[in-house]
Amino acid sequence: MDENGKPTILVVDDTETNIDILVDTLDEYYNISVAMDGETALEIAESDPPDLILLDIMMPGMDGYEVCERLKADERTRNIPVIFVTAMSDIQDETKGFKMGAVDYITKPISPPTVLSRVASHIKLKQKTEQLAELSQKLSKYLAPQVYVSIFRGEQDAKIESSRKKLTVYFSDIVGFTSTTEGMETEDLTTLLNDYLNEMSQIAIKHGGTIDKFIGDAILIFFGDPLSRGLKNDAKACVAMALEMRERMKTLHTKWYNMGIQNPFRIRAGINTGYCTVGNFGSKSRMDYTIIGTHVNVASRLESSAEPSQINISHETWSLVKDEIFCIKSKPIMVKGISHAIQAYQVVDTTSNMNEGDDADFIGYLSESTIELTPESTIKMLIGAIDEKDPTSSAVVIRNGDFLGLISFNSLTRSFPTTADLESAYDQPVTMIMDSSPIVVEKLTPLPQVIKRVIGNDKKKMYDPVVVIENGKYQGIVTIQSILKKSTDNF
């Protein structure tokens, strides 16, 4: 269609008389292009697509059937309506034409009123189709792509109904959103927030997540409906999405900082897997495709308990992704409506990335041996092994490789302030003075995370060593001196 709103018709025929008739018939109402062979017709259609093509069948070289077939096979031209104009009037010819993708069939000799009527009808139909496509494209922005596709394919109806499914749910928000943005102008805040939501949405769509909604600065996404790749793969896709989102924030931080924003957004996330009710909720005139249920609340609670840039997942999610995702076991959290605590895990990275990393970045690199005792060992045996002149000396209590507790020089002096007190307890088991809840970390825990835990530790235990384990088995200890020295070297 040209700038004046006149549709363009491509007339393809190898006979000048037929071309003249069609041009004279249509010229008043349409822009006309002409081709006298199939090759030229394809070149015109590809370079400057018309709104409709009138196509002869019997032409030398490439016939009309082949031209139509090639038009429909090309993404650029497949939606152009094709009307065959031919002297071939057998029912078999018409049937073949429609199978090739033609929208209509006009027989020769050419009747100008018939041509005008048929062309006008199909041009109007094409315009209506394009308007509907444009409208549906606009409406699709209010729906998750998967939901939009399932509705327009007829796989799902727009009525109030729901079902129970096991889903993996992702919640995230911006830490301290109000305090971070309180000094911003509304226009700057709008640009920044939309930039953030757009980037996160693209990542969610890439990984197959169904974007439920944006709640201010918060995002709710779920995996497993309306399409599912299986429970395990859905969970892995969700965690992979969260990791990519966290990584993308680093790029955005640089971008925003260069724009003059001194305190860029920092996000945190929570992920949980469990049965949810999913479907259309609302009224007959207005409904949302969303999820509800206790496990949605668990994901939200995991998110709110996370630190900036941290991804917390539940035990159920961890059990599905643990083969490919390295996590650190965290403290259980309580969720309103659930009587028992929810075990949380902090996502560090994929195991493949962890294995490729520099060992010096992880606490296990600093691990060293110390005195090992059994639960039956006595305090007298401990005194004989520990160096009382070294305030950093320590011992661990283990059984069959399992770590049971830590005994530091500090804990010894706290328990027995005088020599007499110590001597009176010589025959007591070491378990009476061991600390059964020191800082215990997996060997591949990043050093900065260990430092944060040490800083936030009980002041009485501030100088106690960190215990290193691997898959639950004791590996060694790392002294605070080693951690501080390494952190000074690195940061």
Q: Tens-of-pLDDT digits for all 491 residues of the chain?
A: 556 678 999 999 999 999 999 999 999 999 999 999 999 999 999 999 999 999 999 898 899 999 999 999 998 999 999 999 988 777 777 788 888 889 998 988 888 999 999 999 999 988 888 877 777 666 656 666 666 566 666 566 555 666 899 999 999 998 877 776 777 778 878 888 888 899 999 999 999 999 988 888 899 999 998 889 999 999 999 999 999 999 898 888 888 877 777 666 788 999 999 999 988 777 776 777 789 999 999 999 999 988 888 899 999 999 999 999 988 788 888 877 777 888 999 888 887 776 554 445 688 888 888 889 999 999 888 887 776 656 667 889 999 999 999 988 777 777 787 878 878 888 899 898 888 888 999 888 887 778 777 767 776 776 788 999 988 899 999 887 777 666 545 43
pLDDT for 335 equals: 78
pLDDT for 159 equals: 59
pLDDT for 490 equals: 45
**Burial per residue of 265-279, b for 16 or more beta-carbon CB atoms within 10 angstroms, e otherwise:** bbbbbbbbbbebbbb
Q: What is the DSSP string of 139-180?
A: HHTTS-HHHHHHHHTTSS-SSS-EEEEEEEEEEEEETTHHHH
pLDDT for 148 equals: 59
pLDDT for 491 equals: 36
pLDDT for 355 equals: 58
CA atoms within 13 A on the CB side of 53: 33
248 within 8 A of 322, measured Cβ to Cβ: no
Q: Residue 362 has what DSSP assignment?
A: B
pLDDT for 147 equals: 66
Domains of the chain: 8-140 (3.40.50.2300), 167-357 (3.30.70.1230), 363-490 (3.10.580.10)
Burial class (CB in 10 A: 0-12, 13-18, 19+), 298: buried
Q: Which two tokens stand for residue 70?
A: 């090639």
Pairwise CA distance, residues 158 & 155, whole Å: 10
Measured in whole angstroms, the distance separating CA 294 from the mean position of its chain's CA atoms is: 22
pLDDT for 11 equals: 95
344 within 8 A of 310, measured Cβ to Cβ: no
Secondary-structure breakdown of the chain: helix, strand, coil percentages, each rounded to the nearest 5 = 40, 25, 30
Measured in whole angstroms, the distance separating CA 183 from the mean position of its chain's CA atoms is: 30
Q: Which two tokens stand for residue 366?
A: 């600093």
Q: Tell me the three state secondary structure of residue 57.
A: coil
Burial class (CB in 10 A: 0-12, 13-18, 19+), 354: middle
**Is the whole model's pTM more than 0.85, yes or no?**
no
